[in-house]
């Protein structure tokens, strides 16, 4: 069986689109299989101020659309389909979609991931208007303001410490009566002057008028509910990669992330992974772009040197 494509990229976010720009410029026939619209999570991000080359910032949908157009211009083909399985043991790899199958010499997995949500009223309504899942992305928008971090693990405390250097005050809200973060992070948080804690508390609702201005908290020990003023709600209750279809195909870590080496190679020859779906991703636009480029160059070497 001959492969229809040199490269099939599963996922059309920043990592996938960046990979496609490089593979098509290397004259490799490339297809991106995307379930929704190309662009990924950056389409849901308002202002991006930390991406190099944009001193005045850039809107997420603008840069997402621009990368998509660039990938199209270099010759990338697109298919809109839900991938349900990969067959990767032969020289010709098969991407199995709900609509049809796609064959390729190499596959690059760039399916990204999603932040776990609180699933409370107001969370979706105020997304990008006070509700965020990334302090390093959005912290500067809350300079000098009062903010809340929801969660008690390493990510919540680590991002909270970053945020504490920017905001006026930070309140950490956690369901349990003690934090889950490593002791060194806990010690740092407890010794930071503008950080306070609402342990054994839960966010029941996020409220505001166009922008977040308060949350409804519940004291889980007494059942008391009360409003708590805040301009921003940073949510860190977990992150899950979009990798359920990869079970038994490539090696995943306990959290479901694809394990790769520094060249974005998985344990299956000719199969690469990039961006938020891979282990140790920093979940930043810049690192996703870099991952995608690295995976593309590795795929090129696999085909031309193999």
Which domains, ranges and CATH numbers included, belong to the chain? 5-114+239-305 (3.50.50.60), 131-235 (3.50.50.60)
Determine the 3-state secondary structure of 266 from DSSP: coil
Would you please indicate which residues are annotated as catalytic (active-site) residues?
134, 137-138
More reliable by pLDDT, 228 or 63: 228
pLDDT attached to residue 291: 97
Do 133 and 156 touch, CB atoms closer than 8 A?
no
Q: How far apart are CA 103 and CA 87, in angstroms?
A: 9
Per-residue tokens: 41: 């999570």
Q: How confident is the model at residue 45 (pLDDT cuts 50, 70, 90)?
A: low
CB 9, CB 108: distance < 8 Å: yes
**What is the rounded average pLDDT of the residues 131-160?**
92
Task: Choose between 239 and 166: higher pLDDT.
Answer: 166
Residue 230: which of 200, 207, 253 has the closest Cα? 207
Residue 40 has pLDDT above 80, yes or no: no
Q: Which residues, at least 6 apart from 24, have a Cβ–Cβ distance to it below 8 Å?
A: 30, 71, 74, 75, 76
Angle at 182 between CA 181 and CA 183, to 5 degrees: 115
DSSP 8-state symbol, 64: H
Residue 23 — very low, low, confident or very high, per pLDDT cuts 50/70/90? Answer: very high
pLDDT value at 216 more than 70: yes
* DSSP E strand stretches across 151-277: 169-174, 195-199, 201-208, 212-219, 225-229, 232-235, 239-241, 271-273
Neighbours of 248 (CB within 10 A): 9
Quick one: pLDDT at residue 286? 92
pLDDT band for 11, please (50, 70, 90 cuts): very high
Residue 158 is predicted with a pLDDT of 87
The pLDDT assigned to 46 comes to 61
Instruction: Name which residue leads in pLDDT, 49 or 132.
Output: 132
Give the whole-number percent of the chain exceeding pLDDT 90: 81
Beta bridge partners of 102: 95
DSSP one-letter code for 259: P
pLDDT over 90 (residue 1): no
Instruction: List the Cα angle 112/118/122 in 5-degree steps.
Output: 110
What is the residue-averaged pLDDT of the chain?
93
What is the band of 136 on the pLDDT scale with cuts at 50, 70, 90?
A: confident
Mean pLDDT of 279-290: 90
* Kind of pairing between the strands at 30-34 and 5-10: parallel
Q: Nearest to residue 235, comparing CAs of 275, 203, 212, 209?
A: 203
Neighbouring-strand partners of residue 170: 147, 195
Q: Bigger pLDDT: 41 or 132?
A: 132
Q: For 36-57, what is the mean pLDDT?
A: 78
């Amino acid at each position: 069986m001959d492969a229809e494509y040199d490269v099939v990229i599963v996922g059309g976010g920043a990592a996938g689109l960046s990979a496609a720009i490089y593979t098509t410029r290397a004259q490799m026939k490339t297809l991106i299989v995307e379930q929704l619209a190309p662009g990924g999570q950056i389409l849901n991000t308002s202002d991006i101020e930390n991406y190099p080359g944009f001193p005045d910032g850039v809107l997420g949908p603008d840069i997402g659309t621009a990368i998509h157009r660039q990938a199209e211009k270099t010759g990338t083909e697109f298919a809109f389909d839900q991938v349900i399985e990969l067959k990767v043991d032969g020289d010709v790899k098969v991407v199995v979609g709900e609509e049809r199958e796609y064959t390729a010499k190499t596959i690059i997995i760039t399916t990204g991931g999603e932040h776990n949500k609180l699933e409370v009223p107001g969370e979706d309504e105020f997304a990008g208007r006070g509700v965020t899942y990334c302090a390093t992305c959005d912290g500067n928008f809350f300079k000098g303001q009062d903010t809340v971090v929801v969660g008690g693990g390493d990510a919540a405390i680590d991002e909270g410490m970053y945020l504490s250097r920017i905001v006026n005050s930070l309140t950490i809200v956690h369901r349990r009566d003690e934090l889950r973060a490593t002791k060194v992070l806990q010690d740092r948080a407890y010794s930071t002057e503008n950080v306070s804690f609402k342990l054994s508390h839960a966010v029941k609702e996020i409220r505001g008028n166009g922008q977040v201005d308060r949350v409804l908290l519940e004291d889980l020990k007494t059942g008391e509910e009360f409003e708590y003023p805040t301009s921003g709600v940073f949510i860190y209750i977990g992150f899950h990669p979009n990798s359920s279809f990869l079970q038994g195909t490539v090696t995943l870590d306990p959290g479901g992330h694809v394990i790769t080496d520094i060249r974005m190679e998985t344990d299956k020859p000719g199969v690469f992974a990039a961006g938020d779906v891979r282990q140790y991703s920093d979940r930043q636009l810049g690192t996703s772009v870099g991952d995608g480029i690295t995976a593309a160059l590795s795929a090129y070497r696999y085909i031309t040197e193999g």
